[in-house]
Amino acid sequence: MRFSLYERILRPALFALDPETAHHFALFCLRFPGFRSLLSQPAGSPKARRVFGLKFPNPVGLAAGFDKNAVALPAWEALGFGFVEAGTITSLGQPGNPRPRIFRIPEKEALINRLGFNNDGAKRVAERLRALKASGRWPRIPVGLNIGKAKVTPVEEAPADYLFSFEKLFPYADYFVLNVSSPNTPGLRMLQHAKALDELLDAVQSSNFSQSLPKPVLVKIAPDLDFPQIEEILDVALRRRVAGIVATNTTVDQSAIAESQRREGGLSGAPLRAKSTAIVRFVASKVSLPIIAAGGIRDADSAREKLDAGASLLQIYTGFIYRGPALINEIRAIQG
């Protein structure tokens, strides 16, 4: 196996740091074109695809959670991604949960995180996006914005909370994802229940469809749901004209790792592969909605598995941390 510059040199250096420190350092470096050019991979010739009305130059996207505050959007196009999803962004800025809150499990190519939607808040992110637009450096790839509930907002007030972020960020998103499935915000997963999800989507979609050009709105679901629960979500999604499903978020099931390595939070990476693929396949068997697949994508085989299961697009996060930009081109090559 030929290891990339990232895997030979940069990853060992980053892995010598605390995971969150390494994350912030990488984001800082990616703001500089010279650093990005060191990591850029030779581009293949992937086939562009049109999904929920948007053109994606390739199907490989950066999952939400990496660029929470949209501070490095031009970097992701430069590295070869076909789209990027920034966030999760909440109505109010919040620090998230106490550190340490990211844990590596290298032998499993996995992570556990309990970040808790740490972000600058919708107003500040909107200001940042407005400045980026004005600078002429806005990326040519689709930019999705992932929004969630502020920790201090009661679950029953979630529709108004999401609506605030949606309307504040509306001018800057090519598509939106409603994150109702993170395990790290108390009560958030209750929004996956049919009645609560219906009320949330009613609020957001009423605003959306009042616009002259509505935006695609997707829902991100947990891998810990059973199939009847997913069917209820899909019924609501169809009724509220949702544009697609993101499957899946992190899992609270940590049975795939040693007991000594388990922590409070969501597990991502290779151990999530089979569970995520099963949910993608189930969703695809029930509805014709586009699916963005995330969970355990670490090489061409795991990417092809998701596409064969019915995914239209793919997102990587933990695999990107372990494999670096070489993973993007490896997946793009299967589409060439």
Question: Measuring CA to CA, which residue among 239, 234, 237, 232 is closest to residue 217?
Answer: 237
* Structure confidence at residue 39 (pLDDT): 65
Q: Is the pLDDT higher at 7 or at 263?
A: 263
* Structure confidence at residue 336 (pLDDT): 46
- What proportion of the chain, given as a percentage, has pLDDT over 90? 90
* Structure confidence at residue 44 (pLDDT): 56
DSSP string, 189-227: GGGGSHHHHHHHHHHHHHHHTTSSSPPPEEEEE-TT--H
pLDDT (mean) for 113-120: 97
User: What pLDDT band is residue 242 in, cutting at 50, 70 and 90?
Assistant: very high
Question: Helices 158-169 and 194-208: crossing angle, nearest 10°?
Answer: 30
Q: Which of 4, 91, 181, 182 is catalytic?
A: 182
Residue 260 annotated among the catalytic residues of the structure: no
Query: Mind listing the pLDDT tens digit for each residue in 19-40?
Result: 999 999 999 988 887 666 666 6
How many Cα neighbours within 13 Å face the side chain of 166? Answer: 30
Q: β-pairing, 102-105 with 110-113?
A: antiparallel
Q: Is the pLDDT higher at 42 or at 264?
A: 264
CATH class of the structural domain 5-333: alpha beta
* 145, pLDDT greater than 80: yes
